Amino acid sequence: MKKIIIVGASSGIGRELAHIYASQGNRVGITGRRLNLLEELQKEYPEQLVVESFDVMGEQNIEHLNLLIQKLGGMDLLIYNSGYGEIRESLDWEVERKTVDTNVNGFIEIMVFGFNYFSKQGSGHLVTISSIGSIRGNSMAPAYSASKSFQSNYMEGLHMRLKKMRSKVRVTDIQPGFVDTKMARGNKFFWMAPVHKAAVQIVDAISAGKWRAYVTRRWWLIAKLMDWIPDFIYHKIA
- Of the candidates 58, 50, 113, the residue with the CA atom closest to the CA atom of residue 80: 113
Beta bridge partners of residue 49, listed in sequence order: 28
- Rounded Cα–Cα distance for residues 97 and 105 (Å): 10
CA 229 to chain centre: 27
Burial 2-30 (b: 16+ CB within 10 A, else e): ebbbbbbbbbbbbbbbbbebbeeebbbbb
Q: Supply φ then ψ for residue 116, to 5 degrees.
A: -70, -35
Active site residue 144: yes
Q: Which of 45, 144, 154, 214 is labelled catalytic?
A: 144
Q: Which amino acid type is present at position 206?
A: I
Question: 91 and 141 in contact (C-beta within 8 Å)?
Answer: no
Catalytic residues: 144
